[in-house]
């Protein structure tokens, strides 16, 4: 999926308090916060748990207003509420679990080549065929490559690209062509390893002949789909803040590098201890949330 990094997360609009939504039920406390800048979202605090609700514009089916409306409607029904919108479901399910109290350390796929990393993701969709070929060759065999085409290439372009490489050169090619029908055909003809991303939202992606990985963005899907045997689950970001990334990281195994290097684009975050994305790992030491940077809806 294609999106640019946010410019800055630090200038929050504290004037945009919405409507009251505090729930005191027995010993349970629920608070809802909003952050607003280039990226907007909600942070839900339920007892010791935190979840992020942040639809990704242009990719999520719901808007932030849709997500806010559903979240406000179910606050008084926690923990038994069953959200329908994917971003709300992911955020609520995350908040119902205590926020991690143990350090997290996971292998990480880098978005930019740098020292200490062995797995690198390259976005090729906007490049010409010739430029993409040259660009990829720069990083072989130094890195294990994941190539993301964002469904922007034709079948002919993708097949010509494949003629310049071996299938063993890549960890997988993510959505190399602009239709699911052509994706099946590309997979059948080349047997190159395929990563399914957009296809998971609407297509029978499990039928891809050379399927290697399911690239799952919990904010877009709401939950993790059933993964076929021997297929890698690659958990990936939808440009969440550190709170959402920690919620994704807690779902990951330590065997497959996660796609959470988007944190490197944030200039400021709400975790008192920032996440470290270096030396090939996504690492975090537990810390409280800094609510002073958030707009409390109260």
Q: pLDDT exceeding 90 applies to what percent of the chain?
A: 86
Does 16 score more than 50 pLDDT? no
Asked if residue 215 belongs to a domain, the reply is yes
Do 70 and 121 lie in a common domain?
no
pLDDT tens-place string over residues 139-185: 999 999 999 999 999 999 999 999 999 999 999 999 999 999 999 99
Q: Is the pLDDT of residue 223 over 50?
A: yes
The pTM of this model reads 0.88
Instruction: Please count the structural domains in the chain.
Output: 2
CATH assignment at residue 84 = 3.30.390.10
Q: Are residue 265 and residue 139 in the same domain, yes or no?
A: yes
Q: Looking at the structure, tell me whether residues 76 and 89 fall in a common domain.
A: yes
Q: Do 94 and 108 have their domain in common? A: no
Instruction: Determine the structural domain holding residue 137 and report its residue range.
Output: 104-286
User: 280 with 236, same domain?
Assistant: yes
Does a structural domain hold residue 191? Answer: yes
93 occurs within a structural domain: yes
Query: Residue 55 above 60 pLDDT?
Result: yes
Q: What is the CATH number of the domain that holds 147?
A: 3.20.20.120
Residue 197 resides in a domain? yes
Q: What is the mean pLDDT of residues 14-37?
A: 58
User: Is residue 204 a part of any domain in this protein?
Assistant: yes
Q: Are residues 226 and 136 in the same domain?
A: yes
Q: What's the Rg (C-alpha) of the chain? A: 20
pLDDT at 29: 86
User: Same domain, yes or no, for 114 and 244?
Assistant: yes
* Residue 28 confidence class, pLDDT cut points 50, 70, 90: confident
At 11 the pLDDT is 30
- pLDDT, mean over the chain: 91
pLDDT at residue 10 is higher than 50: no
- Evaluate whether residue 154 is within a structural domain: yes
The predicted pLDDT at position 20 comes to 30
Residue scoring higher pLDDT (257 or 28): 257
pLDDT at 23: 38
CA distance 36 to 251: 26
Lowest mean per-residue pLDDT among 8-22, 87-101, 162-176, 242-256: 8-22
Residues 172 and 277 in one domain: yes
Q: In the prediction, which pLDDT does 4 show? A: 35
Q: What is the DSSP string of the chain?
A: ---PPPS-S----TT-------EEETTEEEEEEEEESSSEEEEEEETTEEEEE---TTTSSS-HHHHHHHHHHHGGGTTT----SHHHHHHHHHHTSPPP-S-EEEEB-BSS--TT--EEEEE-TTS-HHHHHHHHHTTTTTSEEEEE-TT-S-HHHHHHHHTTS-GGGEEEEES-SSSHHHHHHHHHHH---EEESTHHHHS-GGG-TTEEEEEE-HHHHSSPPPPPTT-EEEEB-SS--HHHHHHHHTT--SSS-BB-GGGGG-S--SBSSPPEEETTEEEE----B-GGGSEEE-
Q: What is the pLDDT of residue 27?
A: 53
Instruction: Judge whether 9 lies within some domain.
Output: no
Are 150 and 197 in the same domain? yes
152 belongs to a structural domain: yes
Residues 147 and 96 in one domain: no
**Stretch 211-232: mean pLDDT, rounded?**
97
- Cβ neighbors of 69 (< 8 A, separation 6 or more) are none
Q: Are residues 74 and 119 in the same domain?
A: no
Q: Are residues 97 and 138 in the same domain?
A: no
């Amino acid at each position: 999926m294609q999106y640019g990094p946010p410019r800055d997360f630090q200038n929050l609009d504290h004037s945009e308090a919405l409507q009251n939504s505090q729930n005191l039920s027995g010993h349970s406390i629920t608070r809802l916060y909003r952050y607003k800048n280039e990226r907007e979202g909600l942070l839900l605090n339920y007892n010791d748990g935190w979840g992020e609700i942040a639809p990704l514009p242009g990719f999520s089916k719901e808007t932030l207003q849709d997500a806010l409306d559903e979240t406000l409607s179910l606050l008084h029904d926690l923990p038994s509420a069953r959200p329908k919108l994917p971003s709300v479901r992911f955020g609520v399910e995350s908040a119902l679990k205590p926020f991690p109290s143990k350090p997290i350390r996971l292998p990480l796929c880098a978005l930019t080549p740098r020292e200490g990393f062995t797995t690198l993701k390259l976005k090729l969709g906007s490049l010409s065929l010739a430029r993409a070929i040259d660009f990829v060759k720069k990083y072989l065999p130094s890195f294990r490559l994941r190539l993301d085409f964002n469904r922007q290439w034709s079948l002919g372009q993708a097949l010509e690209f494949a003629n310049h490489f071996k299938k063993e050169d890549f960890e997988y090619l993510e959505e190399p062509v602009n239709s699911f029908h052509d994706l099946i055909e590309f997979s059948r003809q080349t047997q190159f390893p395929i990563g399914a991303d957009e296809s998971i939202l609407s297509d029978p992606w499990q039928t891809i002949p050379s399927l290697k990985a399911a690239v799952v963005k919990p904010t877009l899907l709401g939950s993790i789909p059933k993964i076929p045997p021997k297929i890698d689950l690659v958990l990936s970001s939808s440009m969440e803040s550190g709170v959402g990334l920690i919620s994704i990281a807690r779902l990951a195994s330590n065997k497959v590098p996660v796609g959470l290097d988007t944190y490197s684009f944030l200039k400021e975050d709400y975790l008192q201890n920032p996440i470290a994305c270096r030396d090939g790992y996504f690492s975090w030491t537990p810390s409280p949330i800094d609510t002073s940077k958030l707009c409390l809806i109260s």
